[in-house]
Amino acid sequence: MPLISKPFRALIIGSSGTIGTAFINLLNSYDQCLDVIGINRHSVPSINYLYPETIQQAFETLNNKEPFQLIINTIGVLHTENWLPEKRLKDLNEVQLSQQFLINSIGPALTIKYFSNLLDREGGVYATLSAKVGSISDNRLGGWFSYRASKAALNMIIKTASIELKRTQPNSALIALHPGTVKSNLSRPFNGERIGREPEAACQDMLSVLLNVEREESGSFKSYNGDDLPW
C-alpha cells in the first residue's frame, strides 16, 4: 500500500531551480495536494548549501508547521561557470571536488538529518534527486569523477539513513530518485535541450513514482519511470 495518503502536504527543497519550479507548479495544480511549500536560497526561510548552517535554521522554522507527507530535495550541481565535469584524471582538482561533495553529498545528508523529522509519522516519502551516473556498478564510460563520486556518496547516505528510519520512523521511506535528462541549465552544456524531456513531464513522471512508494521500498534507488536502478 502506498505510504502517501491523499490529500497530502508537500515540501520542495531547491524550489527556484528548473525541476524545483516545475514541481511547485505541478503540485499547485494537483487536486490532492492540500499545500506545497518551496524553499531555496532566496526564500524565507532560506537554504543554501554553501552555508550549511541554513539547513538547521530552515528546519527549525518549518518544524512549527504541520508535518509533510512528501518531501523532495532537488538541489544539486554538475557544473558552474568556472568548471565542467572532468574527462580525465589529470583534470581532477581540489576546488571542484570539494564543491561537488558539499552540494551533492554533504548538504543533502544534513538535510536528511533534520528534514526527515518533518515527515508525517503516519506515512511519508522523502526523495532526494540523485543520478544514474552515481551508480558504481553501472559505470562503464568513466569520466565525470567528482559528480559521479558525490552522487555515489549521496546514495550511500540515503541507503544508510533508510535503515535507521525503518526502526525510528517505520512509516517513512527515503528514496534516491533519478530524474533522467531534463531540459535545464544543468543539462544544457551536454545537449540537454535536444535530448532532454520537458521539466513538467519529468516531474509528472517522478510524482507518479513517489505517490506509489510503499514502506518496503525505503532505501531504494529509483528511476523516473519507476525502475529500480543498481547501486
Q: Can you give the pLDDT of all 231 residues of the chain as single tens digits?
A: 999 998 999 999 999 999 999 999 999 999 999 999 999 999 999 999 999 999 999 999 999 999 999 999 999 999 888 889 999 999 999 999 999 999 999 999 999 999 999 999 999 999 999 999 999 999 999 999 999 999 999 999 999 999 999 999 999 999 999 999 998 766 566 654 555 799 999 999 999 999 999 999 999 999 999 999 999
Say which DSSP state 217 is in.
Answer: G
What is the rounded CA–CA span in Å between residue 50 and residue 1? 38
Residue corresponding to grid cell 495518503: 5
Residue 189: the pLDDT is 62
Distances (CA, A) of 117 to 11, 159, 208, 231: 13, 17, 23, 26
Say which DSSP state 119 is in.
Answer: B
The pTM assigned to this predicted structure is 0.94
Using one digit for the tens of pLDDT, what is the confidence trace for 180-202?
999 876 656 665 455 579 999 99
β-strands 70-73, 8-13 pairing: parallel
Residue 70: the pLDDT is 98
For the chain, the farthest-separated pair of C-alpha atoms sits apart, in whole angstroms, at 52
C-beta atoms surrounding 91 within 10 Å: 14
Strand order in the sheet with 172-178: 33-39, 8-13, 70-73, 124-129, 172-178, 220-223
Residue 195: the pLDDT is 56
Structural domains present in the chain: 8-223 (3.40.50.720)
Of 214, 205, 150, 213, residue with least CA distance to 179: 205
DSSP bridge partners of 179: none
